[in-house]
Chains A and B, each alone.
Chain A
Amino acid sequence: MDLTSLTVHELSALLQKREVSSVEVTSAYLKRIASLNERLGAYITVTDVEAIAAAKEADKRLSSNTGAPLTGVPISVKDIFCTAGVRTTCASKILENFIPAYDAAIVAKLKDAGAVILGKNNMDEFAMGSSTENSAFFPARNPWDLQRVPGGSSGGSASAVAADLSAASVGTDTGGSIRQPASCCGVVGLKPTYGRVSRYGMIAFASSLDQAGPITKDVTDAAIMLAAIAGHDPLDSTSVDSSVPNFPGLLSRGVKGLRIGIPKEYFIEGMDSEVSASVNNALDCLKKEGALAVPITLPHTEYAVSVYYLLATAEASSNLARFDGVKYGLRVGAASLIDMYKKSRAAGFGPEVKRRIMLGTYALSAGYYDAYYKKASEVRALIKRDFDEAFKTCDVIATPTCPTPAFKLGEKTQDPLTMYLSDIFTISCNLAGIPGISVPCGFTKDKLPIGLQLLGAPFDEATILRAAYTFEQTAGIRKEKSGL
């Protein structure tokens, strides 16, 4: 049996029954990483020594029957989450040698649950990008076609999970960075409601939009991982103090009578024909299972990308001010303090990060604040209102996750605006703070995965998980593998 091809819940069952040990599974994963990571670029750092030590601990727990669903399961985390004693780079030269003194909240939770962390996944620098080409170290690649990007910014996570280099990963999503790479790589990606998961120890990009969530091989695993990382954290005042539902237990109730909103703004002329055919097939499949399609409108959709690139960059320009060569990170020596800041930041940040810092600084600067930042905040409120109205007549909203399948490396690097437009279907979800999931729904004729996106009302992850699960069970798409 190929242990690395199993899902979290399949592995967990074997581990609990002591049919395999965590050390065996972890070793199988480390072996696969050693043979494939050079081609895929899915990990920046592999923590093999720590992983084997954690696996041994997990085996002790499992043999004394005190394990949890994740005990002994090898997973990975995006290199945006602080890990005590383990280098955390955010795929940036400025943090190349940064070793945090503490664990991010989600890392601590996963460790407490007994999960084995295999390493830190590649990403776009500071989560800024949609292709993982903005990693300061090396790009990640798509297991379905190594000439294509895995999406981004959590591209290393999606690539690792799709190629069986980890059983599951945790990524972050500011404008689509979990769902878009999941769609490109044919895996499941869930962005929870803003406030569902603590952001403590997750390196900040745009604090009003950032949210951590799972990238997994199937929907059941997404529910298990979300249950493990969700919940209030006193160290993040934006994490909401409400009880965490038993997500895995709520998957199998079917979709009979479920109202699926179909927003006309997301099914437009000129969309990739294979993407639209595949998504429409998925909707037919859900209708056959008893769901009802309801036409809805989200009238401010066309402004979402503009709103996002003003607000996210404004927040980033403020958040990234902390990287100044003083307390941690790269320092380039200079005679004056200001010159030290300028030289350290110039040497440490890549071009996309600099571009966004400058755009954000401009949007916030004297004379432009009203026209850009304030206006964008107001339009954001209207986008949120669109969703509030829509959820009065439907329970979930279905759209494609991406307008096209994964594109080729280098195809969009010369024109930042074209790259930004690849997030067109995922961004509104972050602006409204609602949950969204991408689930594989088919392939193009060139064997590139296509994703169906389901958006839910605030804190109603359970319903989008249930709809995604019903679709996955009926369609049987996941059984296909990339062949790597």
Chain B
Amino acid sequence: MPITTKDVLHVADLARLEVNEADAALYTAQLQKILGHVEKLSEVDTQDAGNKATETAGTRVLREDKAVKGMSQDDALKNAPERSDGCIKVPQIIE
């Protein structure tokens, strides 16, 4: 499956990355080479592999659903690029 510059621009849009045409051409060539390499996975017979790959050695341990003291509003907002009245400020999203 050859990847085109159009695909790369589409993927960049999905990934919310601004990419210019020159970069897109470079990424296309590089991704094509990587995808060419991973193509060899198609030769593996995975019929009886199941989909247990993400199972890890131990069992998941969930903590009790009990409220604990969290971070203060001030701490949580400390790294926000823009804030006002205890909220994070972003460009207008509703017309």
Residues of A within 8 A of B (CB): 98-99, 101-102, 193-195, 208, 232, 234-235, 237-242, 300, 302-303, 305-307, 309-310, 317, 321, 324-331, 333-343, 345-346, 349, 354-355, 357-359, 361-362, 365, 368, 371-372, 374-382, 384-385, 415-417, 420, 431, 433-434, 458-459
9 tightest CB-CB pairs across the interface, nearest first? A240-B58, A328-B79, A331-B81, A378-B46, A458-B57, A380-B53, A346-B18, A378-B49, A306-B38
**Contact indicator A242/B49 (Cβ below 8 Å):** no
Residues of B with C-beta under 8 A to A458: 57
Residues of A with C-beta under 8 A to B1: 368, 371
- B93 contacts the other chain (CB 8 A): yes
Interface residue from A358, A377, A459 paired with B15 (Cβ < 8 Å): A358
**Cα separation A450 to B46 with both chains bound (whole Å):** 36
**Contact indicator A242/B58 (Cβ below 8 Å):** yes
**Contact indicator B17/A208 (Cβ below 8 Å):** no
Q: How large is the interface on B (under 10, 10 to 19, 20 to 34, 35 or more residues)?
A: 35 or more
For B78, give the chain A residue with the smallest CB separation.
A101
**Contact indicator B16/A345 (Cβ below 8 Å):** yes
**Contact indicator A355/B41 (Cβ below 8 Å):** no
Residues of B within 8 A of A (CB): 1, 3, 7-8, 11-12, 14-19, 27, 30-31, 33-35, 37-38, 40-42, 44, 46, 49-54, 56-63, 71, 75-76, 78-82, 88, 90-91, 93
Residues of A with C-beta under 8 A to B11: 358, 361-362, 365
**Contact indicator B76/A374 (Cβ below 8 Å):** no
Residues of A with C-beta under 8 A to B38: 306, 309-310, 372, 376
Interface residue from B31, B46, B71 paired with A379 (Cβ < 8 Å): B46
**Contact indicator A340/B90 (Cβ below 8 Å):** yes
For B15, give the chain A residue with the smallest CB separation.
A361
**Contact indicator B63/A237 (Cβ below 8 Å):** yes
Interface residue from A102, A384, A416 paired with B34 (Cβ < 8 Å): A416
